[in-house]
Amino acid sequence: MPGCAFIGDEVTAAGFRLAGFSVYTPAPEAITTLFDQLSEEMELLIITAEMAHSIPEKLLRRTFDRGNPLLLVIPDIRNRAQPIDLAAELRQQLGMSE
């Protein structure tokens, strides 16, 4: 899969590596720089929620809003961190949540 990258922990990365993704398991201090670089180079970028929590929200939002690359935030295989529930957030903003 050309232009597809994964950023996350080593265990989750193993599955994406088998699927043909370029995988990255950066040190905490290198996550933001790597994310910024890959968001300019890739067509699809998948990142675990745990790693995404280390990236400034402004940078994540800019990447989401731009729509290129397609950005997916997923839980890691050990379920240590969950991505934001966008549907629940939207319902809350619209005043439809319980």
Domain ranges in the chain?
A: 4-93
Instruction: Fill in the amino acid letter for 73.
Output: V
What is the CB neighbour count within 10 angstroms for residue 63? Answer: 21
Burial 18-57 (b: 16+ CB within 10 A, else e): eeebbbbbeeeeebbebbeebbeebebbbbbbbbbeebee
User: For residue 65, what pLDDT is reported?
Assistant: 85
User: For residue 1, what pLDDT is reported?
Assistant: 42
Q: Record the tokens describing residue 79, joined without a space.
A: 């379920």
User: For residue 18, what pLDDT is reported?
Assistant: 93
How much is the pTM?
A: 0.79
Assigned CATH class of 4-93: alpha beta
87-98: average pLDDT: 66
